[in-house]
Amino acid sequence: MTTLPNLTQKKLGLVIDLDTCVGCHACVISCKGWNTENYGAPLSDQNAYGADNSGTFLNRVHSFEVQPTGDEAAAQLIHFPKSCLHCEDAPCVTVCPTGASYKREEDGIVLVNEQDCIGCGLCAWACPYGARELDQAEGVMKKCTLCVDRIYNENLEEVDRIPTCVRTCPSGARHFGDLGDENSDVSKLVAERGGMDLMPEQGTKPVNKYLPPRPKDALPEFDVLAPFLEPVAQEAKGFLGWLDKTLEKL
| pLDDT higher than threshold 90 for residue 236 | no
Q: What percent of the chain has pLDDT over 70?
A: 88
Number of domains in the chain: 1
Looking at per-residue pLDDT, the higher value among 18 and 229 belongs to: 18
Phi and psi at 73, nearest 5°, equal -75, 140
pLDDT of residue 241: 76
pTM of the model: 0.82
pLDDT of residue 166: 97
Please report which confidence band the pLDDT of residue 128 belongs to, taking 50, 70 and 90 as the band edges.
very high
Consecutive H or E run containing 175: strand 174-178
Determine contact, residues 10/179, Cβ cutoff 8 Å.
Answer: no
The CATH number for 160's domain is 3.30.70.20
> Is the per-residue pLDDT at 52 higher than 60?
yes
The answer as to whether 227 is a domain residue is: no
Using only the alpha carbons of the chain, give its radius of gyration.
25
How confident is the model at residue 221, as a pLDDT? 59
Q: Tell me: pLDDT of 57 over 80.
A: yes
Q: Is residue 235 part of a domain?
A: no
Residue 240 lies in a domain: no
For residue 206, being part of any structural domain is answered with: yes
Residue 146: which domain range?
Answer: 12-211
User: Is residue 27 a contact partner of residue 174, using CB atoms and an 8 Å limit?
Assistant: yes
Give tens-digit pLDDT for 191-208: 999 999 999 999 999 999
* Domain assignment present for 121: yes
Q: Tell me how far apart the alpha carbons of residues 124 and 142 are, in angstroms, rounded to a whole number.
A: 10
Phi/psi class of residue 209: alpha, beta or left (left: φ > 0; alpha: ψ in -120 to 50)?
beta
CA distance from start to end of the chain: 85
* The pLDDT of residue 225: 61
Residue 1, in any domain of the structure? no
